[in-house]
A and B are shown apart, each in its own frame.
Chain A
Amino acid sequence: MKKIGVKVEALSKNFDDVKALKQVSIQIDKPGLYGLIGPNGAGKTTLLKCISSLLVPSEGDIHLNGDRVSPKNLAIRNKIGFLPEDSGLYDRLSAKEFLHVMAGMSGIPKDVRSNKVRDVVEYIGIDFPPSKIVKYLSTGQRRLLLLASIILHEPDIIILDESLSGLDPINRERISEIMRRLAKENIVIFSSHILSDIWRLCEKIYVLNDGSLIVEDNPDSILSRMTDDSFFVTSKINIEEVKDYLEKNKFVQEVSIQGERIIFRLKDFSKANQLVGEMLEKFEIVSFGPNIPDLDQIFTRLVDAS
Chain B
Amino acid sequence: MREIFSTQSKSFLFKEWKYIRRKILPLSIGLAIFGFLTVILLLALPYLADFLESLLPEVTPEMSIQSFMDSTNSIVSIIAVILCADAIAGEREQNTLVLIQTKPISPVSVILTKLAVRYLLVLISTIAGAIAVFFGTWAFIGLPDIQSFIVSLIVYAITLFTYMSIGILISTIAKSQISAGVISAVVILVITLISAFLMFEEFQPYNIFMMSVNLSMMEFSPTNIAIVCVVLFLLGSALIAVSVLAYYSEKELTRKKV
- Chain A residues in contact with chain B, CB under 8 A? 15-16, 18, 20, 41, 43, 45-46, 52-56, 71, 74-75, 77-78, 80, 82, 84, 86-93, 97, 100-110, 149-150
Contacts and interface: CB of A to CB of B under 8 A. Distances in A.
Interface in B100-118: 100-106
21 contacts: A43-B258, A55-B251, A75-B104, A77-B102, A84-B95, A87-B95, A87-B99, A88-B95, A90-B19, A93-B15, A97-B18, A101-B12, A101-B14, A102-B99, A102-B103, A104-B7, A104-B10, A106-B8, A107-B6, A109-B7, A150-B102
Given A16-B256, A20-B258, A74-B104, 19 more contacts: A18-B258, A45-B257, A71-B248, A74-B106, A77-B102, A77-B103, A80-B102, A84-B98, A86-B95, A87-B99, A101-B12, A104-B10, A104-B14, A105-B12, A105-B103, A106-B8, A106-B104, A107-B8, A108-B7
Nearest to B102: A82
Looking at chain B's contact residues, is the secondary structure mostly helix, strand, loop, or mixed? Answer: helix
Nearest to B93: A88
A180 to B, nearest CB: 23
Interface string B236-258: 00000000000010011001111
B12 A18 contact: no
Complex A-B, nearest 7 residue pairs according to Cβ-Cβ distance, in ascending order? A104-B11, A88-B95, A74-B104, A88-B94, A105-B103, A88-B96, A20-B258
Nearest to B252: A56
Contacts of A106: 8, 103-104
A88 B100 CA distance: 11
B14 A41 contact: no
Contact of A89 (B10, B96, B102): B96
Contacts of A56: 251-252
Contacts of B104: 74-75, 77-78, 105-107
Contacts of B258: 15, 18, 20, 41, 43, 45-46
Nearest to A86: B95
Contacts of B99: 87-90, 102, 105, 149
Nearest to B3: A74
A150 B94 CA distance: 18
A53 B6 CA distance: 21
Nearest to B98: A84
Contacts of B101: 54
Contacts of A88: 94-96, 99
A92 B23 CA distance: 13
Contacts of A92: 18-19
A88 B6 CA distance: 24
B95 A54 contact: no
Contacts of B106: 74
Contacts of B6: 107
Contacts of B256: 15-16, 18
Contacts of A89: 96, 99
Contacts of A82: 98, 102
Given A15-B258, A104-B10, A105-B12, A52 B95 contact: no
Given A15-B258, A93-B15, A87 B105 contact: no
Nearest to B8: A105
Contacts of B255: 55
A103 B103 CA distance: 9
Contacts of A41: 258
Nearest to A72: B248
B249 to A, nearest CB: 9
A102 to B, nearest CB: 7
A45 B101 CA distance: 15
Nearest to A149: B99
Contacts of B100: 105
B11 A87 contact: no
B105 to A, nearest CB: 6
Contacts of B12: 101, 104-105
Contacts of A16: 256
A104 B5 CA distance: 12
Contacts of A103: 11
Contacts of A104: 7-8, 10-12, 14
B104 to A, nearest CB: 4
Contacts of A97: 18
Interface in B1-54: 6-8, 10-12, 14-15, 18-19
Contacts of A52: 102
A101 B94 CA distance: 17
B18 A93 contact: yes
A92 B94 CA distance: 12
Contacts of B248: 71
